[in-house]
Amino acid sequence: MEAPIRAWIGRLAGKIRTVRRPGDDSDYDTYVDRWFADHLAAALAVSKKMAENAGVDLSDALRDLQSAIAEAYPKSDAAKTYPRAVAVARAHIDAGLAARRQRN
């Protein structure tokens, strides 16, 4: 299950990097906020669940996604809030992995 989820997060990061380029569109900076919010939230939720249930650490994929947002849409709300959400998810992932190690 790890490989397809990691690939999905990677494709999402790639799409964010390439789907739109700066231009005259006044809502360019909010594009990622409007069109990718559900996917970004799902990536966080799935990463936490994978750590808890399967012992898989997807935090590197989340960091890549975070970088894609910051690079492509630096003025977006996601660029400001997603790093904090990734940090919270990372703490959850670390705790989930630690709990699994203790059980095993």
Q: Where are the domains of the chain?
A: 2-19+26-103
**What pTM, to 2 d.p., does this model score?**
0.89
Q: How far apart are CA 70 and CA 79, in angstroms?
A: 5
Residue 74, classed as helix, strand or coil, is coil
Q: Are 95 and 80 in contact (CB under 8 A)?
A: no
| Per-residue pLDDT reduced to its tens digit, 5-40 | 999 999 999 999 988 665 555 577 788 998 999 999
Q: How far apart are CA 42 and CA 53, in angstroms?
A: 16
| Per-residue pLDDT reduced to its tens digit, 53-68 | 999 999 999 999 999 9
